Amino acid sequence: MGRPIDWSLVSLATKALGLLLVFVGTLVGVIGLNPSTTPNVGFMDDAVFVTRLLWTLGLGALAAGAGMKLRYVLGPSSSVISDGQARVMVASQWRNSLTFLIALILLVWILTFLPI
């Protein structure tokens, strides 16, 4: 058939896209909410909406990338690994778990408490 999916690369690309969306959302928010650059109040409302949308999509992609890494790359291994490799794998699992949880907590905060 075809080559198998490289989940590590898909996870990395998804997390990179998420960070890029969060960065662009922050730039839109900073530029759009600066009174010297946007004298129009309607544009400020649009900037808040776009910022919230980009942050939501970015954090969702970041959480999805961390979840893919946890599920498909760092899942249970059937091969025999050394003690050093096991420590690296556990550290990577913790890092991706924390990334997943922090992204979800920020996502809930944005959807619940950030005004539109």
Whether pLDDT at 87 is above 90: no
Q: Do 8 and 69 contact (CB within 8 A), yes or no?
A: yes
CA–CA separation, 115 and 52 (whole Å): 9
Please tell me the predicted confidence (pLDDT) of residue 1.
66
Query: Which helix (DSSP H) or strand (DSSP E) does residue 106 occupy?
Result: helix 83-113
Quick one: average pLDDT of 88-104? Answer: 86
Please tell me the predicted confidence (pLDDT) of residue 58.
94
CA–CA separation, 105 and 23 (whole Å): 18
Whether pLDDT at 20 is above 90: yes
CA–CA separation, 25 and 5 (whole Å): 30
In the chain, the percentage of residues whose pLDDT exceeds 70 is 89
* Helices and strands, number each (H, E), in the chain: 3, 0
